[in-house]
Amino acid sequence: MAADSSSQNSKILLTGIRASGDIHLGNYLGAMRQALQLQTKYQSYLFIANFHGLTTTPKAEELRKHTRSIAAAWLAAGVDTKKTVLWKQSDVPEVLELAQVLTCLTSVGLLERAHSYKDALAKEKIIKAGILFYPVLMAADILLYNSDFVPVGKDQAQHLEMTRDMATYFNETYGTTFTLPEALILEDVATIPGTDGRKMSKSYNNGIDLFASEAELKKQIMGIKTDSKGLDDPKVAEECVVYQIFKLIAGKSESDEMKRKLEAGGYGYGDAKKALLAKFLEDFGAMRKEYDRWMKDTAALDQELARGAVQAREKATKMIKRVREVVGL
């Protein structure tokens, strides 16, 4: 069972990762690592957002693979399912019922201000309704469990504010029902640079995938965008994407050493990339082996998710019963 209210802290922490691709370094540093560190301090609820994954209309088998991959990543990274509830979003259909209720209280104007919608509008000729209503489903994910804290990157902070808005609308209309969740953002890893210098994102295809093969991982890291300075030229470490990523996973002494070498000259970007690859394999080697073990034993993986779904749904049904009562359903 998940940690109960008699534990050190009864506050609830919730986070989810959309089932739309492989786990990259940005997912781990921006949300997963923080959630793992806090799983003994809070009642932790971690879910795989496969309903959200439908916004890209993947093939069925692709969505199932991504869902299992994210679950395996959580377990390999150190989720303790005796303390933490881990499940896939679609196993708790009450989230869709709550999303429908919230939809009836939420203005289109609020949703049109979402970064996710504006980004889609700039890139797509036809905007699917799932993109517009993405913040509503996200709000339902959070409010269904009366979450107190949600680890998010800076790019998701707006969606959490929208969740607070929706909870406030509901509470003012029907009486206090939902807790107003707070964001947990680590400033030093709030935005993780991708291989092209932009924010690391599945949408940009610029990630360093945690569980890619060693050959693919090498390709991604050696492909990191750099400027045209030569081997002997002094370089500005803080402007170097390789260094920016390296210092997020390495200790201070190792980071300072790379910075010194870059700024002194005689140390090329290729050298820095090789150092980053070696550090990545060193730090994540054990996790990568554990991930492979889970992905080979899908029966055990599915069993873990099913057990978590029972716990998550138990809490969700209580909230939905309360919501139904106050709105008159």
Closest CA to 327 of 93, 133, 98, 78: 98
CATH 3.40.50.1860 fits 12-192+297-327, yes or no: no
DSSP states of 206-268: ---BTTS-HHHHHHHHHT----S--TTS---GGG-HHHHHHHHHS-HHHHHHHHHHHHHSS--
Question: Of 224, 159, 237, 165, whose CA–CA distance to 198 is shortest?
Answer: 224
Amino acid in position 170 = F
CATH number of 214-290: 1.10.240.10
Model confidence pLDDT, tens digit, residues 134-188: 999 999 999 999 999 998 766 678 889 999 999 999 999 999 999 999 988 766 6
* pLDDT tens for each residue of the chain, 329 residues long: 344 444 446 899 999 999 988 899 988 987 788 888 888 899 999 999 999 999 989 999 999 999 999 999 999 999 999 889 999 999 999 999 999 999 999 999 999 999 889 988 888 878 899 999 999 999 999 999 999 999 876 667 888 999 999 999 999 999 999 999 998 876 666 678 999 999 898 878 999 999 999 999 999 999 999 999 999 999 999 999 999 999 999 999 999 999 999 999 999 999 999 999 999 999 999 999 999 999 999 999 999 999 999 999 999 999 999 999 999 99
DSSP 56: G
- Whole-angstrom distance, CA of residue 178 vs CA of residue 164: 9
Q: What one-letter code names the amino acid at 185?
A: I
List residues bridging with 87 in a β-sheet.
47
DSSP label at residue 200: P
Instruction: Give CA–CA dist 258/223, Å, rounded.
Output: 19
Question: 66, 20 in Cβ contact below 8 A?
Answer: yes
- Looking at beta carbons, which pairs linking 97-103 to residues 24 or more positions away fall under 8 Å? 97/320, 97/323, 98/140, 98/143, 98/144, 98/319, 98/320, 98/323, 99/133, 99/136, 99/137, 99/139, 99/140, 101/170, 101/323, 101/327, 102/136, 102/139, 102/140, 102/143, 102/166, 102/170, 103/133, 103/136
Among 301, 303, 302, which Cα is nearest to 292's? 301
Contact of 147 with 117, CB cutoff 8 Å: no
Question: Rounded to 5 degrees, what are φ and ψ at 301?
Answer: -65, -50
pTM (two decimals): 0.88
Q: How far is CA 73 from CA 66, 92, 211, in A?
A: 10, 21, 8
Per domain, the residue ranges of the chain are: 12-192+297-327, 214-290
What is the spatial distance between Cα 50 and Cα 90, in angstroms, rounded to a whole number?
A: 6
Task: Report pLDDT for 33.
Answer: 87
The tokens 């055990």 sit on which residue?
300
